[in-house]
Amino acid sequence: MWITSDRVFYAGLLGAPAMHTAGAIVVYVSVEAPLRIRLAGGEWHTTDVAVVQPYVPYEIASDGRHALDILIEPETLDMSRLPELLRACGAVHAPEFAARVRSAHAQLVATGRDHDLRPEDFDPLFFDQPLPTRQIDARIAGVLERIKTDPSTQAAAQACAEEAKLSFSRFLHLFKQEVGAPFRSFRTWKRARSLLHHVNSDSNLVYVALDIGYPDSTHFSHSIRQTYGLKPRDIFAGSRKLRIIQGGEPGEYMTA
């Protein structure tokens, strides 16, 4: 798994199908067998590439045990200028893209040179070009950077509104307008996303939960299961042999 502040690439076990919701654009590519996907309890569709938009509930399955998975943080993107592939939702016919992602994965496995990977290399490797960035209101950008730098923060919306020098109602409205998601949903996703940095550690799950900002193990387990469709202990059990590549300081948002 290659993790940057705004992107994740995962190659590994897919896990059993379960309804879950991520705050990122999620792209799946098949490896051993075609994928099956359904959105919000709808019909199943078979495909080699699947795209899910942020906060859309879905289930993903395959007769193969492994899949390739890309997560892209939407607040960093100009959604109106994205490639057509990344604006889709559900099964997608994209054989050339699938071949590119599989080739990129093979390249990462073959070289094994983690120290050569830079965050700015991510988009060109998988999408052949940098993805278009979004301009964010400077007041909201400051709040995003705070949450992104420390996802475990317990900062409440009221405190963030005061930091941005906005009324509470105006802050909530502007945040959703600029980011595309409510403040609470965004903060919940960033906290759950931060779990990915710990999935192959030997730390006790209770300590991991507290470290990434959950008040107790019950809240931690419920939130992670809603996000990933798996219990935390199952995620850790399936990731013991996973190689984690971490790199990239939190980047700055383009401000308007």
Shared domain for 122 and 141, answered yes or no, is no
Domain-ending residue, one of 106, 127, 148: 127
Going by pLDDT thresholds of 50, 70 and 90, the confidence category of residue 253 is very low
As given in the structure block, the two tokens for residue 239 are 């990731």
Is 0.75 surpassed by the pTM of this model?
yes
- Position 79 pLDDT exceeds 60: yes
Shared domain for 28 and 114, answered yes or no, is yes
Query: What is the pLDDT averaged over residues 31-52?
Result: 96
Q: Which class for 30: exposed (0-12), middle (13-18), buried (19 or more C-beta within 10 A)?
A: buried
Shared domain for 99 and 141, answered yes or no, is no
Domain-ending residue, one of 127, 150, 184: 127
Domain containing 64 — which CATH number?
2.60.120.10
Domain-ending residue, one of 127, 160, 188: 127
Domain containing 214 — which CATH number?
1.10.10.60
Going by pLDDT thresholds of 50, 70 and 90, the confidence category of residue 24 is very high
Number of domains in the chain: 2
Shared domain for 66 and 84, answered yes or no, is yes
3-state DSSP of 109-169: HHHCCHHHCCHHHHHHHHHCCCCCECEECHHHHHHHHHHHHCCCCCCCHHHHHHHCCCCHH
Domain of residue 248: give its range.
135-255
What sign has the CA pseudo-torsion 227, 230, 232, 235? negative
φ, ψ of residue 180 in degrees (nearest 5): 90, 5
DSSP letter at 200? T
Shared domain for 123 and 7, answered yes or no, is yes
Whole-number percent of the chain with pLDDT over 70: 95
pLDDT tens, residue by residue, 97-138? 999 999 999 988 887 666 678 889 999 999 999 999 999 999
